[in-house]
Each structure stands twice: as C-alpha cells, then as structure tokens.
Amino acid sequence: MAQVAEQFSRAFKLSELKAEVTSQLTVLERRVEVEALRAVEIEKCKTDIRRMREELAARSSRTTCPCKYSSVDSSRTLGPRRDVPAYPKYLLSPETVDALRKPTFDVWLWEPNEMLSCLEHMYQDLGLVRDFSIHPVTLRRWLMCVQDNYRQNSFHNFRHCFCVTQMMYSLVYVCGLQEKLSQLDILALMTAAICHDLDHPGFNNTYGPHHPAPRTRGRRSLWVARRAEGARAGFAHRHQRRPAWAPGWEPRPPPPLRPAAQGIITLILATDMARHGEIMEAFKDAVAGFDFSNEEHRTLLKMILIKCCDISNEVRPPEVAEPWVDCLLEEYFTQSDQEKEEGLPVAPFMDREKVTKATAQIGFLKFVLIPMFEAVTELFPVVGEVMLKPLWAAKDRYEELRRSEDARTENREPLTLQNEPQPDRTEPQPQRIGQGDPVASQA
C-alpha cells in the first residue's frame, strides 16, 4: 500500500509539473506573438516615414505656381512667382460642413488658411475634383495663387471672394442646382465666383474714364481683361503641367473643358453693374417660359446667380452683413477723396459728405437686390423664404435707422440756432458716417 501511495504522489507531482510547463509555454507563445506584431508595426511605420520623405522631397522641387504680380503699378501684368508653400490643412467639423452650405454662414470667423481649406472642401464636396480629374495638390496651389493676387482693399479682397463663393456654394444646395445644371455649369459658377474680382484695383467704373492720364483711363479694361485671363489661364493650369503666363506659352484648357473656360469669362463680365439692367431684362423675359435644356436660358440663369452672390451680403444675418457695408463705404470714400484731390467728378453715393449707411443701403436694396432675388424666386420658390425675407428685413432695419438719423438731425436744429449765425449753404450737410454729434464736438 505504501508503494502504491508513493507512486500516486509521484504521479500527481508529474501532473503539476506538466501543468506548470504548459502554462509557461503559453506565456512564451504570447510574448512571441506580441514581438512579431511589434515588428510588423515598426516596418509599417518605416514605410510611412519613407513615403512621407519622398513626398516632401518631391514637393520641395516643384516651382510651378504661376500667378504672382510683381509691381504695384496699375499696368502691371501677372507673372511667375516663387514656389507656393503648403498651407495647413484643416479638418472641418461636421458642424462647419453643415453651416458652410447655408447662406447664414459667418464669413468673418475664418483666417485666410481656413478659408482656403473651406474652398478646397467645396470643390471636393460638389464632386468637381472627382469628375474633372483635378489633382488635389494642383487645386490647392491654384487657390493660393488666387489668394495672392487679390489686393488688400477695404472691400474687394480675398474675404469678399470667399464670401461670394460660399454664397454660390449654398445656392447650389438651396436651389438643387446639381439636379438642374451640368457639372460643367457648376464648375463654371464656382470658378467664376472665386476669380470674379481677381486683382481688383479698389476703384469702380467711374474712376478710370475721367482720369486725365491715358494709362489710368484704361485701368478698368485692363483689370477686366486680367480677371478673365486669370480665370482662363488658371483654369488651364489646373489641367496642364506647364505654368500659366509662362513666356511664349498660351494656356489652353483641354477640349472637353473649353466651353466652361469661356463660360467663366462670360460670368465674370456679368458682375459688372454697368450691365445690370440689360441682364435683368433678359432674365425676366426668359423666366416665364424657362427651359433648362435651353443653353441661352441656362447662361442667363448663371449670370443672374453670380450677380446675386456678388452683392448678397444683406442676405446674411445683420451682424455678418453690416461690417461689409462699412468696408464698402470706406472703399468708396477712398476713391471719392482721390477724385476730389485730382479735380474729378464725384458720384454722390460715394461722397463721405453726402452719404450715410442707411441712405446707401435702402436704395440699393429697394431697386437692385430685392427685384433681382424676386426674379430668382419665380424660378426657385425656396429662395423667397431663405434669401428674400432677410432682404426685406434688412430694408426695414435701414429705414428705421434713417428715421432715427432724421430725428437726431431735427433735434439738433434748435441747438444750432443758439450758436452764432452760420453762413448760408446751398445744400444740407448730412452727418458723416462714423463721426460723433457735430454739436457735441463743438462743445
């Protein structure tokens, strides 16, 4: 019996030993698996790092950005510029992506690099990059070239370009334009919106023709030609490897895209307010029997849409729209001051001695903006709710502001009579925008 017990004891010890060895082997196997996975991850990291280095090396060798002007003279031409550094790529949040599709988007919250990212997102989101085989890097570099060629004007600057393009982007969604128009039409609308004020000199149509210097008299026509050339050449540059505006090279877009290139120029020229009455009359005549399969009708629609976007600031909330009025008036006042200094005629709506924010906006809303958006509403009823109502509200707001200004002027009249006799004036002198009470300042 003792021997049997001893054998059982040995047997049990062997079992324990076997279990222990098995456990240790399992642990070792797991460690080997972990080490193998680490090796795989390390190789992946090495591969990614190698690829990133190759991409950086390739980017640093590129010098194809085409469009930096090199002179402040009004007769300058756009010429090749230095290589464009990559701007930070921002990941847009879902909230931003959703807000970007609405006309209430606040364009003042974004830095230049962020605006570039938003513009790039618009082209991606609308399927233009995919449908027209636009390389994302080329698109990014072209957008930076456009940004660099907008001047630092009070109003007609790159933020205005972004504002107009964002409104066009929102119209595509609000009106369902991708269901009505071709992708080529959408590409023309978006690209024209981006380029429509490229290299704007900060002076409107009336300045150049009256200027005594021959070079300045041609300022407007040169600028319009430069905008059209910038859109056309930049459009071609997105699809060709050689830089636009290179000496001895005439940029031409690929044959399938040439109609869009010409369409972009047509849309840019439509933003000239000198043609407003002509375009509005033609569009109103076409609305009653509008046919989306009719090329002439589609062209008129696109012209009206870019005109709407170009002057659409009052569609936005008041806190977004009103700073634009200040910017525009500042640009107008700069021109009128220059015209006075040079002895040129000054338009009353640009004279800081005669115009106020309220008077400037009421007439513009009443006779230009509201009728144009009403015409678009006949074709797209949704525009009435989303865009026309804010315009009516803006008109009411500025009329209330004008009544307040008139009341303040009337209240100041008795105080003026208490002062020493003033010389007779042939016309009233309204209060300047941004200045304090004249009576208070005299005190």
- Residues labelled as active-site residues: 156
CA distance 132 to 114: 24
Q: Is 27 exposed, middle or buried (0-12, 13-18, 19+ CB in 10 A)?
A: exposed
CA gap 168, 181 in Å, rounded: 14
For residues 129 and 135, what is the distance between their CA atoms, to the nearest angstrom?
A: 7
Number of Cα atoms under 13 Å in the Cβ half of residue 390: 18
Distance CA 226, CA 245 (A): 11
Q: What is the SS3 assignment for 82?
A: coil
- Residue 78 gets which letter from DSSP? E
Closest CA to 253 of 265, 239, 267, 274: 239
Q: Are 161 and 150 in contact (CB under 8 A)?
A: yes
Residue 270 phi, psi dihedral angles, 5° rounding: -70, -20
Neighbours of 239 (CB within 10 A): 17
Q: How far apart are CA 100 and CA 7, in angstroms?
A: 83
Taking only Cα atoms into account, the Rg of the chain, rounded to an integer number of angstroms, comes to: 32
Question: What's phi and psi for 81, nearest 5 deg?
Answer: -125, 180
The answer to whether 235 and 253 have CB atoms below 8 angstroms apart is: yes
Strand partners, 68: 79
User: What is the spatial distance between Cα 192 and Cα 268, in angstroms, rounded to a whole number?
Assistant: 6
Q: Is the dihedral of CA 107, 305, 314, 333 positive or negative?
A: positive
Q: Tally Cβ neighbours within 10 Å of residue 429.
A: 9
Q: Phi-psi category of 185—alpha, beta or left, where left has phi over 0 and alpha has psi -120 to 50?
A: alpha
| Cβ neighbours around 155 below 10 Å, total | 20
**Cα-based distances in Å from 124 to 150, 169, 303:** 23, 12, 23
